[in-house]
A = this chain, B = another copy of it.
Amino acid sequence: MEEKEIYKYEYPHPAVTADCVIFGFDGKSLRILLIERGVEPFKGSWALPGGFVRIDETVEEAAIRELQEETNVKGVYMSQLGVFSKVDRDPRERVITVAFYALVKPTDHDVIGGDDAASAQWFSLDDYPIPVFDHEQIIKAAYAQLQRNFRAGNVGLEMFEDKFSISQLYLLHSLVTQKDIDRRNFYKKMTSYDYIEPTNEKMSDTPHKPSQLFSIDRMTYDSELKESFNLIRFDLDEKTDDDKLKTNKKK
């Protein structure tokens, strides 16, 4: 054990982790993705997916990597939430965490526990096991942030891989903002955006009128939304720490 302690510093260094708050919307309700810890401390308890930032990767890379390793979720657009650095937030040693959050469609991702996670599971946002460390605080902060973004006008289309119906989007907005939005006004507003385009496909899986499907003009959507919000999005193969600041240069 002593043998392995080979990294020496003149001053004490904190460990740094990246944690991911992944919200899911399956068309019916809001969910949150937690993992069952497969290692100590708190083995067997639930926690946010995440883990230590390696010495040769950015915090964004760590977040993506850990999320994929522990839950098999990949290719989502995450945003930085903030840093949580209470001195005693981890019993092992001083750990500072950088939290990220994202909103995805659970159905687009086969959730499989892996690596340090015994399992990974979606829970209802209304009823999930209280996670360990200060992860409950982080979830609360992430949800508050999500809510602020939606209330400030974020459309939340980054979660849809492909087609969607306005009524799905309506339900999502109702759930997130916790306001009862007028359905007619919502339809009007959404269809007025130039990045939301009607297709001639319809979807019918319930006993009622089939819903019209819309597609997203991703280019237009991204350019309009990146300007007004600080949505830093990154994917597996992006060099994100750079991109974060390239907003002017790009496109």
Q: Which residues of A approach B to under 8 Å, CB–CB?
A: 4-16, 52-53, 55-60, 80, 82-87, 94, 96, 98, 137, 140-141, 143-145, 148, 152, 228-230, 241-242, 244-245, 247-248
Instruction: Say whether A56 contacts B87, CB under 8 Å.
Output: yes
CA distance A87 to B242 in the complex (A): 11
Min CB–CB distance A188 → chain B (angstroms): 23
Instruction: Say whether B85 contacts A82, CB under 8 Å.
Output: no
Instruction: Say whether A9 contacts B16, CB under 8 Å.
Output: no
CA distance A229 to B230 in the complex (A): 12
Q: Which of B4, B11, B86 contacts A7 (CB 8 A)?
A: B11
Copies in the complex: 2
B contact residues around A98 at 8 Å (CB):
83, 85
| Contact A55 to B5, CB < 8 A, known contacts A242-B86, A245-B140 | no
CA distance A170 to B9 in the complex (A): 50
Name which residue of chain B comes closest to A98, CB basis.
B83
Instruction: List the 9 closest pairs (A to B, CB-CB), nearest first.
Output: A13-B13, A12-B55, A5-B8, A137-B245, A58-B85, A59-B85, A86-B241, A7-B9, A7-B12
Name which residue of chain B comes closest to A53, CB basis.
B14
Min CB–CB distance A241 → chain B (angstroms): 5
Instruction: Say whether B94 contacts A55, CB under 8 Å.
Output: yes
